[in-house]
């Protein structure tokens, strides 16, 4: 198993300060959001890493950093051994772009409403010059649509003629056009009904098996994550708090936040179980707590937790950032 | 939700397939006539009347040389003995000159058509130029953002603080000063530029707003991930999606542009006197108003009102028809 | 048997459009007992939100009730004039909607919105109303309620706002709460808090709840009974445990099977091929028949009524006759 994607100390900070005039007149300070604050992980070829967390944890930002929609403030992304920051703007970048693609959350906004499905799916083919000639392009698009369970005749239709699940399949077909090795999926089924979600997830798993695809799967739905992933990373306020193989994470969650998340999920097969009540809400990312970001809500926090930020380290076969676990308190 | 029959959704494992109904995708015209906009049109009496009126005016204007009963600019065909005749239904009128003649014997009806031609030409050209300039700047501003955006928006603010007539007067005046013996085409160009220079700002702002919204949508991000250049994204992805409100604005602005041109011509600084527009006709006819020859100025005025009104009503209808919230 | 609090009989809701009249709800009947929590679950387009809207009397025109009756405490409320319905809304029926951002008026303090509701429906003085409002906020778990009551909605976070909305819904002590996707817009950990809060408060006040959602997990945790809707009709209705673990209707079984579970490992999720039919193309007979593995000719011709099937009632000609066996056969891996 070789490593396809490796991320070192990735960070992204957004400047959300008020406009210059407001700052001067109202004496407001500059404000920054550390959407991603030092994240490191690696993904093996053919495997799926899932990143879970609630809103504001930075998982979507990580996805966008990986495909180059944002530039990192710090840290680096390595794709197949190559640092993506050193790719420049030319052929090398395009070659890497061909090999990694992205699927987005909103099936209604991820397809241009004015373009025909043919043009939408053929765009990567045309942009990279992979298939020449209209006939050949059309044939290839038809083939791609059929591989995701749509009909060849759908090439002439417009996105509004399809349902949410079908549009998501079109997005998948578009992402597969350049025969990528790595797919970043940003909550691809969150906007879909449960039965449609099942169809799309089955397709994605099938494709992974057939083509040996590597996935980075972003989601807030732990049940879905459990179904599709091999490894799971839990994020909180821009930091990775636990990273473990799926079975381990679900059987024995170590980090207090992971435990809280698993406990909070309403699940149809565990009706009527008693729950430990959850405290508090995700803090304002403009003003994260000092030390460990989770300490205000953590039942196991001590003085060290409010002062010192825990480092992601390997303990007992999994990677975890928690003082309590490190000290053996839980 | 979808309109398609969900037959095309068998899983890759070839699970249960419903009856494969493949409807041929309807052509563009078929889609248009089936759509909500056409339905809204044919159920709105105001829109239909306005459209018919506008069409008649434009038809007459466009085909004036063939449709008008006389050619008022052909000096040879003028007969001074026919001068200052009232409209046909009045006591001294003649059927040959339906709306009467002016002091030189020119048929008013024909002059109307030729004048409308000039007015509409200037109006449409000015709006076209406004649209091109406004949409380009708005697109650039919304897409690129930053200092360029700030600069363009400040220019818009400045332009809006000047009354459009004054700006048009200024440009026109400068133009005349620079080119005192201007060729007719040049005079027209200066006039068109003058009018469009004050009209491009609403397009820029509207398009900028829409661009800001579309820019954050996932289909634009998908194009970036594919590696499409920003210029192509702007033109091929974003532009088609921001043009909707532009159509509505343009329709309404045609009326405004025509009125602006009429005002300028009335003031004497519009079209060259050799190609009189409706405004010119109104001005010229004004002098005869108090001597009782009202038809020389009233009919051009009515024609102007008719054109502006029908275009405005069409624009109003269009704005309501394409507003998704009102459907 | 106590008299039901809410009775819905043969409710039909239609939307006249220029392409013909669409029947969005087709003969819906169910009851809610006092203090009971009934879940209404379904996928997009099934009509669950419409059912809630029809009951509260907030159907968006041109939608209208075309038939059937809605009775609250034995009295018809579907044909009431606007003013009378307004009196009932708030006093007898409280509503909680999905988006806490738009449920609260951003221009008024929450204290004002609460006291206004209390004063409109209950015969108390202004001071008493304010006291009740503060107590309500404390009950919903908002810290420092006495100070926060004078704040504006934008000064609260999403979860806090939804708590305020719950307080608002309960302010006039209604007998029935209609909650339409109350937790969908919230984070997972907040969802759990809000659900627990809703359950506790409604139990304390003795209010019945009609919980409309697409999230089966929320239903499993909160409800006593659940109605599964499909294409504007009720497919199955019954106690929540049986509907989830021993569903009689094939659609319910497929739905339960397609939900990824927190236990068990399946390579492929059970999937129901195709999609819910659009309102313009609802099949003849049973609406589910094109996608149903058990469909017969009778299913294609005759529309089944809700009939007893094991512990639930299902609108199916071939409900699973041995519910437990059928459930484990269809949803392999789910615990019974």
Summarize pLDDT for A90-130 with one digit per residue, the tens.
888 888 999 999 999 998 899 998 899 999 999 999 999 88
Range of the structural domain that residue B53 is part of: 36-70+101-326
Q: What percent of chain B has pLDDT over 70?
A: 87
Nearest CA in chain A to B23: A153
* pLDDT confidence bin for A64, thresholds 50/70/90: very high
* pLDDT confidence bin for B247, thresholds 50/70/90: confident
Q: Which of A15-24, A223-232, C12-21 has the lowest mean pLDDT?
A: A15-24
Residues C209 and C257 in one domain: no
Number of domains comprising chain C = 2
> Tell me: the pLDDT tens digits for A132-172?
889 999 999 999 999 998 988 888 888 988 888 899 999 99
Domain assignment present for C14: no
Question: Does A196 sit within 8 Å of C275, measured CB to CB?
Answer: yes
Q: Which chains form contacts with chain A, at 3 or more CB pairs under 8 Å?
A: B, C
Give the other-Cβ count within 10 Å of A215's Cβ.
24
- CA gap B296, B287 in Å, rounded: 9
pLDDT the model gives residue B275: 80
pLDDT at residue B214 greater than cutoff 50? yes
Q: Which of B81-85, B182-186, B251-255 has the lowest mean pLDDT?
A: B182-186
pLDDT the model gives residue B159: 86
Using the Cβ of A154 and the Cβ atoms of chain B, whether some distance falls under 8 Å is answered with yes
Q: What percent of chain C has pLDDT over 90?
A: 27
Q: Which of A70-74, A247-251, B167-171, C261-265 has the lowest mean pLDDT?
A: C261-265
Domain assignment present for A109: yes
Cα separations in angstroms, C82 against A142, A190, A301, B227, C73? 55, 38, 55, 57, 19
Q: What does the pLDDT average to over B259-286?
A: 83
Question: Does B11 sit within 8 Å of C274, measured CB to CB?
Answer: no
Using the Cβ of A68 and the Cβ atoms of chain B, whether some distance falls under 8 Å is answered with yes
CB-based burial label for A134 (10 Å; 0-12, 13-18, 19+): exposed
Q: Which of A4-13, A167-176, C97-106 has the lowest mean pLDDT?
A: C97-106
Q: Which chains form contacts with chain C, at 3 or more CB pairs under 8 Å?
A: A, B
Range of the structural domain that residue A50 is part of: 3-114+158-326
- A247 — phi, psi (to 5°)? -60, -45
> Tell me: the pLDDT tens digits for C39-68?
999 888 888 888 999 998 888 888 889 889
Q: What mean pLDDT is reported for chain B? A: 80
Q: What does the pLDDT average to over C238-248?
A: 90
Domain assignment present for A251: yes
Contacts of C222 in chain A (CB under 8 A): 266
* pLDDT confidence bin for C236, thresholds 50/70/90: very high
> Tell me: the pLDDT tens digits for B273-284?
778 888 888 888
Question: Does C290 sit within 8 Å of B9, measured CB to CB?
Answer: no
Contacts of C44 in chain B (CB under 8 A): 1
Q: What does the pLDDT average to over C103-128?
A: 90
The whole-angstrom distance between A192's CA and the closest CA on chain B is 11
Number of domains comprising chain A = 1
pLDDT the model gives residue B243: 86
Domain assignment present for C111: yes
- Return the ∠ at Cα A193 (arms to A188 and A199), rounded to 5°: 65
- A151 — phi, psi (to 5°)? -95, 150
Question: Does A55 sit within 8 Å of C160, measured CB to CB?
Answer: no
Residues C184 and C280 in one domain: no
Contacts of C157 in chain A (CB under 8 A): 281
> Exposed e or buried b for every residue in B167-184, given b needs 16+ CB within 10 A?
ebbebbeebeeeeeeeee
Cα separations in angstroms, A98 against A120, A130, A180, C267? 16, 10, 6, 29
CATH number for A178: 3.40.50.300
CB C257 within 8 A of CB C269: yes
Range of the structural domain that residue C54 is part of: 32-58+80-223
Contacts of A193 in chain C (CB under 8 A): 43-44, 214, 276
Q: What three-state secondary structure class fits C97?
A: coil
Question: Does C192 sit within 8 Å of A278, measured CB to CB?
Answer: yes
Q: What does the pLDDT average to over C176-193?
A: 86
Q: What does the pLDDT average to over B98-118?
A: 83
Q: Is the pLDDT higher at B23 or at C265?
A: C265
Domain assignment present for A279: yes
Q: Which chains form contacts with chain B, at 3 or more CB pairs under 8 Å?
A: A, C
Residues 160-219 of B with CB under 8 A from A: 217-219
- Specify the pTM: 0.82
Q: Give the pairing type, strands C307-309 and C312-314.
A: antiparallel
pLDDT at residue C329 greater than cutoff 50? no
Domain assignment present for B75: no
Question: Does B11 sit within 8 Å of A124, measured CB to CB?
Answer: no
Domain assignment present for C75: no
Residues C104 and C150 in one domain: yes
* pLDDT confidence bin for B7, thresholds 50/70/90: very low
Question: Does C258 sit within 8 Å of A195, measured CB to CB?
Answer: yes
Give which of A31, A183, A35 is closest to A104, Cα–Cα: A183
The whole-angstrom distance between B9's CA and the closest CA on chain C is 6
Question: Does C221 sit within 8 Å of A266, measured CB to CB?
Answer: yes
Contacts of B222 in chain A (CB under 8 A): 102, 104, 110, 171, 174
pLDDT at residue A274 greater than cutoff 90? no
Structure tokens at C227: 């109605």
* pLDDT confidence bin for B92, thresholds 50/70/90: confident
- Return the ∠ at Cα C313 (arms to C312 and C319), rounded to 5°: 90
Question: Does C269 sit within 8 Å of A202, measured CB to CB?
Answer: yes
Question: Does A101 sit within 8 Å of B2, measured CB to CB?
Answer: no
pLDDT at residue B15 greater than cutoff 50? no
The continuous run of DSSP H or E covering B201 comes out as helix B201-215
Domain assignment present for B81: no
Nearest CA in chain A to B216: A109
Contacts of C18 in chain B (CB under 8 A): 39
Q: What does the pLDDT average to over A317-327?
A: 89
Contacts of C244 in chain A (CB under 8 A): 268-269, 271
Question: Does C217 sit within 8 Å of A265, measured CB to CB?
Answer: yes
Domain assignment present for C5: no
Domain assignment present for C1: no
pLDDT the model gives residue B130: 93
Q: What mean pLDDT is reported for chain C? A: 85
Question: Does B223 sit within 8 Å of A149, measured CB to CB?
Answer: no
The whole-angstrom distance between A203's CA and the closest CA on chain C is 9
Nearest CA in chain A to C197: A277
Question: Does B3 sit within 8 Å of C281, measured CB to CB?
Answer: no
- CA gap B30, B45 in Å, rounded: 23
Contacts of B223 in chain A (CB under 8 A): 123
The whole-angstrom distance between B214's CA and the closest CA on chain A is 9
pLDDT the model gives residue A111: 93
Sheet containing C307-309, strands listed edge to edge, beginning at the edge strand earlier in sequence: C93-96, C176-180, C208-213, C37-42, C225-230, C233-239, C312-314, C307-309
CATH number for B169: 1.10.3720.10
- CA gap C193, C186 in Å, rounded: 10
pLDDT the model gives residue A273: 57
Residues C211 and C286 in one domain: no
Domain assignment present for B120: yes
CB A5 within 8 A of CB A66: yes
Domain assignment present for B23: no
pLDDT the model gives residue C326: 43
Q: What percent of chain C has pLDDT over 70?
A: 93
ipTM of model over 0.85: yes
Cα separations in angstroms, B40 against A179, B244, B308? 45, 16, 22
pLDDT at residue A233 greater than cutoff 80? yes
* pLDDT confidence bin for C121, thresholds 50/70/90: confident
pLDDT at residue A216 greater than cutoff 90? yes
CATH number for C119: 3.40.50.300
Number of domains comprising chain B = 1
CB C177 within 8 A of CB C208: yes
- CA gap C44, C230 in Å, rounded: 9
Nearest Cβ partner of C45 from B1, B5, B16? Answer: B1
Cα separations in angstroms, A280 against A256, A296, C221? 14, 8, 21
Give which of A40, A88, A44, A96 is closest to A213, Cα–Cα: A44
CA dihedral in degrees (A120, B22, B5, A211; nearest 10)? -50
Domain assignment present for C335: no
- CA gap B220, A159 in Å, rounded: 15
pLDDT at residue B112 greater than cutoff 60? yes
Most B CBs within 10 Å: which of C15, C18, C275, as the mutation test of the B interface? C275
């Amino acid at each position: 198993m070789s490593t396809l994607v490796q991320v070192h100390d990735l960070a992204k900070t957004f400047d959300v300060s008020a406009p210059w005039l407001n700052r001067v007149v109202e004496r407001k300070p500059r404000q920054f959001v550390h959407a991603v604050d030092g994240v490191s992980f690696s993904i093996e070829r053919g495997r799926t890493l899932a990143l879970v967390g609630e809103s504001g944890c930075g998982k979507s930002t990580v996805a966008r950093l990986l495909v180059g929609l944002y530039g990192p403030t710090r840290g680096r992304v390595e794709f197949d051994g190559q640092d993506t920051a050193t790719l420049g703007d030319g052929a090398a970048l395009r070659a890497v772009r061909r090999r990694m693609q992205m699927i987005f959350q909103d099936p209604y906004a991820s397809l241009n409403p004015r373009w025909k499905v043919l043009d939408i799916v053929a765009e990567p083919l045309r942009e990279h010059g992979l298939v020449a000639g209209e006939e050949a392009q059309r044939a290839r698009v038809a083939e791609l649509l059929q591989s995701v369970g749509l009909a060849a005749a759908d090439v002439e239709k417009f996105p509004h003629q399809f349902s949410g699940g079908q549009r998501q399949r079109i997005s998948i077909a578009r992402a597969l056009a350049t025969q990528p090795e790595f797919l970043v999926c940003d909550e691809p089924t969150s906007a879909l009904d449960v039965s449609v979600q099942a169809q799309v997830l089955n397709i994605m798993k099938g494709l992974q098996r057939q083509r040996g695809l590597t996935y980075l799967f972003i989601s807030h739905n732990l049940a879905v994550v459990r179904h599709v992933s091999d490894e799971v990373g839990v994020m909180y306020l821009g930091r990775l708090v636990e990273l473990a193989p799926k079975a381990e994470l679900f059987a024995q969650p170590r980090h207090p936040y992971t435990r809280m998340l698993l406990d909070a999920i309403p699940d149809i097969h565990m009706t009527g179980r008693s729950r430990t009540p959850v405290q508090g809400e995700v803090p304002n990312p403009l003003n994260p707590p000092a030390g460990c970001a989770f300490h205000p809500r953590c039942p196991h926090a001590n003085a060290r937790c409010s002062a010192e930020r825990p480092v992601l380290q390997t303990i007992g076969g999994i990677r975890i950032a928690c003082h309590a676990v490190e000290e053996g308190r839980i | 939700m979808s309109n398609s029959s969900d037959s095309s959704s068998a899983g890759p494992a070839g699970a249960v397939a419903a009856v494969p109904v493949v409807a041929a995708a309807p052509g563009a015209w078929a889609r248009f006539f089936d759509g909500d906009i056409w339905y809204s049109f044919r159920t709105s009496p105001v829109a239909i009347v306005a459209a018919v009126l506008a069409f008649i005016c434009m038809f007459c204007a466009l085909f004036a040389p063939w449709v008008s009963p006389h050619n008022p600019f052909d000096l040879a065909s003028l007969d001074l003995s026919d001068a200052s005749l009232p409209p046909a239904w009045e006591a001294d009128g003649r059927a040959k000159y339906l709306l009467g003649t002016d002091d030189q014997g020119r048929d008013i009806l024909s002059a109307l058509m030729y004048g409308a031609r000039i007015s509409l030409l200037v109006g449409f050209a000015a709006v076209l130029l406004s649209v091109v300039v406004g949409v380009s700047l708005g697109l650039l501003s919304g897409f690129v953002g930053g200092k360029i955006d700030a600069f363009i928006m400040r220019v818009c603010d400045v332009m809006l603080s000047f009354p459009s007539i004054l700006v048009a007067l200024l440009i026109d005046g400068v133009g005349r000063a620079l080119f005192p013996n201007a060729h007719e085409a040049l005079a027209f160009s200066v006039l068109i530029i003058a009018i469009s220079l004050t009209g491009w700002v609403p397009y820029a702002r509207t398009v900028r707003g829409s661009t800001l919204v579309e820019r954050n949508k996932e289909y634009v991000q998908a194009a970036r991930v594919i590696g499409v250049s920003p210029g192509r994204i702007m033109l091929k992805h974003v532009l088609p999606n921001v043009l909707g409100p532009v159509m509505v604005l343009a329709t309404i602005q045609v009326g405004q542009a025509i009125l602006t041109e009429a005002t300028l011509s009335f003031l004497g600084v519009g079209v060259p006197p050799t190609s009189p527009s409706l405004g010119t006709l109104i001005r010229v006819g004004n002098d005869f108003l108090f001597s009782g020859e009202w038809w020389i100025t009233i009919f051009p005025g009515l024609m102007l009102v008719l054109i502006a009104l029908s275009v405005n009503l069409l624009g109003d209808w269009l704005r309501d028809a394409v507003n998704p919230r009102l459907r | 048997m106590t008299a039901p609090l809410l009775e819905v009989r043969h409710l039909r809701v239609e939307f006249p459009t220029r392409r013909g009249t669409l029947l969005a709800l087709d003969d819906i009947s169910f009851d809610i007992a006092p203090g009971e929590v009934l879940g209404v679950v379904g996928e997009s387009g099934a009509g669950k939100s419409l059912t809630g809207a029809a009951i509260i009397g907030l159907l968006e025109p041109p939608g209208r009730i075309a038939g059937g009756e809605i009775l609250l405490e034995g009295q018809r409320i579907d044909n009431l004039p606007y003013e009378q319905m307004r009196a009932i809304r708030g006093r007898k029926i409280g509503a909680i909607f999905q988006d806490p951002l738009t449920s609260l008026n951003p221009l008024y303090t929450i204290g004002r919105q609460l006291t206004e509701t209390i004063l409109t429906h209950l015969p108390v003085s202004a001071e008493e109303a304010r006291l009740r409002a503060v107590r309500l906020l404390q009950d919903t778990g908002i810290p420092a309620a006495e100070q926060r009551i004078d704040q504006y909605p934008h000064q609260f976070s999403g979860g806090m706002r939804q708590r305020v909305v719950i307080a608002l819904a309960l302010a006039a002590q209604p007998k029935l709460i209609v909650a339409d996707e109350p937790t969908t817009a919230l984070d997972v950990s907040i969802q759990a808090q809000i659900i627990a809060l809703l359950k506790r408060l409604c139990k304390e006040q003795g209010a019945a709840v009609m919980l409309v959602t697409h999230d089966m997990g929320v239903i499993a945790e909160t409800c006593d009974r659940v109605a599964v809707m499909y294409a504007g009709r009720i497919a199955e209705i019954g106690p929540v445990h049986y509907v989830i673990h021993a569903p009689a209707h094939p659609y319910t079984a497929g739905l339960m099977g397609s939900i990824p579970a927190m236990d068990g490992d399946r390579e492929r999720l059970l999937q129901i091929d195709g999609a819910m039919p659009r309102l313009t193309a609802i099949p003849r007979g049973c609406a589910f028949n094109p996608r149903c593995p058990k469909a017969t000719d009778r299913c294609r011709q005759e529309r089944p009524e809700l009939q007893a099937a094991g512990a639930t009632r299902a609108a199916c000609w071939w409900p699973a006759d041995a519910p437990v066996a059928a459930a484990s056969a269809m949803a392999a891996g789910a615990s019974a």
